[in-house]
Amino acid sequence: MTEVEKVEKDPDTGKRVKTKALEYEYEPEMEDTYRSSMLKTFKKTLDDGFFPFIILDTINDRVKHFEQFWSAAKTKGFEVYVAEITADTQTCAKRNVHGRTLKDIMKMSNNWESSPRHMVRLDVRSLLQDAAIEEVEMEDFNPEDVPQETKREEEEESDLVGQKKLQLLATHFQICF
């Protein structure tokens, strides 16, 4: 984080005012230092045992960048899942908040290493907006047209599905990316 001076318009007076703010500044030469610091913090978090699940949200374009995290979590008894979130390089460049160039992003994409087969992958595409259904044809529906008996069966089935989902979540409450 770097302190920078910004000139902003005051919403009350309309005048331009200088303010100081902290901004993220990506420093490629510090990447290894960042990773080792993050690993140290991650291991401390595991040792403290305060959390039943931990999400590690970081760019891991190489297996060597995350295999130590995976091993540390497994050693502490966590069930480890890896989620690979992919997008085309243009989309990544637009969403980029780290100041990386399109060239840097393309280099990462071209050198991307997939997770080893022994690491359980979590498919999160259905949770992302990019995977949303774009067009759906809907029919008119009148709930009064459905027989009362069918409604009760659907409600019972819905309750059962909800209970199974809760059981599944309770079974796998320890998760680590």
What are the structural domain ranges in the chain?
A: 2-132
Provide the pairing of β-strand 81-82 with 16-23: unpaired
pLDDT at 159 > cutoff 90: no
| Residue 23: per-residue pLDDT | 79
Interatomic CA distance for residues 54 and 45, integer angstroms: 9
What was the pLDDT predicted at 4?
Answer: 83
Whether residue 9 is predicted with pLDDT greater than 90 in this model: the reply is no
For the chain, the C-alpha Rg in angstroms (whole number) is 24
Q: Is the pLDDT of residue 156 over 50?
A: yes
CA distances from 138 to 8, 51, 77 (A): 47, 43, 46
pLDDT in tens, 88-99: 899 888 888 777
